[in-house]
Amino acid sequence: MKTWYGSVPEDGSFYILSRLAALEGTGSEYVAGEGNVLKQADVSTITCKVYSLGTNKDNESGTEVTPAPTLTAAANLFDTLRTVGWPTGDDCYGYNFRHDVGPTYVPNPEEWYLLEYKITLTGGGVVWMSVKVKTGRITT
């Protein structure tokens, strides 16, 4: 499982964009070897757990931030790829997954947070995705 890294403001909202694909997907394969892009009908559930890792991004025993975000295929997965907000430098295809993360999940400055996604497919397969973000201090 690949982990994506980013920086976000403390106690602020941000979004996560990703292109989710799997062999079981019913969309087209845009990038060779990536698999077919997932569509809403391909996914039965999406869960996300958020962990506070403190100041060590490699912390193996983070504290779970509750309640967990609620995600659904209908609200967070798109049947067609989108490019609005997508950095198109080396990848002009876009994303089909968007999660708007609220400020309650990253409340403290200068800390690392892990967002771990489990996407269960209707055919029984599972796609995992993890994102680590470091919060920056907001000064006024």
3 state DSSP class of 93 = coil
140: pLDDT strictly greater than 90: no
Across the chain, mean pLDDT equals: 93
C-alpha to C-alpha distance for 67 and 65, rounded to whole angstroms: 6
Least confident of 9-13, 113-117, 127-131: 9-13
pLDDT digits (tens, 9 = 90+) for 83-106: 998 887 778 899 999 999 999 999
Structure confidence at residue 39 (pLDDT): 98
Which tokens in the block code for residue 20? 């989710």
Domains contained in the chain, CATH given: 3-136 (2.60.40)
CA 78 → CA 10, 41, 45, 72, 85, distances in Å? 28, 10, 14, 11, 15
